[in-house]
Amino acid sequence: MKIGIIGSGALGSNVARALANKGLRATIANKSGPASMATLLAELGPTITAGTIEQAANADIVLVAVPWVALKTLLSGLPAWNNRIVIDGTNPVIFLDPDSPDAKDPSNPLAAYGIKAINLGGKYSSAVFRELVPGARLVKAFNHLDARVLPQPEAAGGRRTLFYSGDDAAAKSEVRKLLETTGCFPVDLGPLDVGAPLMELPFGALAMSNFIKI
Ligand SMILES: NC(=O)c1ccc[n+]([C@@H]2O[C@H](COP(=O)([O-])OP(=O)(O)OC[C@H]3O[C@@H](n4cnc5c(N)ncnc54)[C@H](OP(=O)(O)O)[C@@H]3O)[C@@H](O)[C@H]2O)c1
Please report the pLDDT score of residue 37 as a whole number. Answer: 98
Q: Is the CB of 93 under 6 A from ligand 1?
A: yes
Rounded CA separation 148/110 (Å):
20
Q: Which of 17, 66, 126 to mutate to test the pocket of ligand 1 (most atoms within 8 A of CB)?
A: 66
Please report the pLDDT score of residue 55 as a whole number. Answer: 98
Q: Which of 5, 17, 31, 87 to mutate to test the pocket of ligand 1 (most atoms within 8 A of CB)?
A: 31
Rounded CA separation 151/73 (Å):
29
Residue 160, Cβ density class (10 Å: 0-12 exposed, 13-18 middle, ≥19 buried): buried
Low-confidence ranges of the chain (pLDDT < 50): none
Count of other CB atoms within 10 angstroms of residue 45? 11
Kindly give the number of the ligand 1 atom that is closest to the alpha carbon of 144. Answer: 6
Rounded CA separation 202/214 (Å):
27
Please report the pLDDT score of residue 180 as a whole number. Answer: 98
Q: Is the CB of 52 under 6 A from ligand 1?
A: no
Which overall architecture, per CATH, does domain 3-92+121-213 show?
3-Layer(aba) Sandwich (3.40)
CA 93 vs. chain centroid, Å, equals 13
Residue closest by Cα to atom 28 of ligand 1 = 70
Segment 153-166, tens digit of pLDDT = 999 999 999 999 99
